[in-house]
Amino acid sequence: MKHPLAPYIKAIECVESQLFGKPSLKVGKHHFACFFKGALVVKIGTEAIQHRSKEFIGSELFDPSGKGRPMKDWLQLPLEYEAHWEHLISEAYDRARADL
């Protein structure tokens, strides 16, 4: 099966990987995007999430366990915002590279 995030890695130096058993992208040891339940999940940081969640109605903090323990730096965006995924992946990538 083709990695669902493969089309978004054109101009960035990252590798396809797995995070919680789901397709992900990482740079170095840092995961910055994954595909989960038909949604894009990006690690953009708490402050950026405060702004982006207002922009993307229906987005939520990523809770991979489904047990009410969301990851504060990760935003999960519904499929309806796919037109914005490339920009968000790039934003998450830049953040991950800054942490190298």
Write out the chain's pLDDT in tens, 100 residues. 577 888 887 778 899 999 999 999 999 999 999 999 999 999 999 999 998 888 999 999 999 999 999 999 999 999 999 999 999 999 999 999 998 8
Q: For residue 62, what pLDDT is reported?
A: 96
Spatial separation of the C-alpha atoms in residues 20 and 55, rounded to whole Å? 27
Distance (Å) of CA 49 to CA 14, 81, 94: 23, 15, 15
Spatial separation of the C-alpha atoms in residues 64 and 87, rounded to whole Å? 23
pTM for the predicted model, two decimal places: 0.92
Spatial separation of the C-alpha atoms in residues 70 and 2, rounded to whole Å? 28
Q: Which domains, from first to last, does the chain contain? A: 6-98 (3.30.1460)
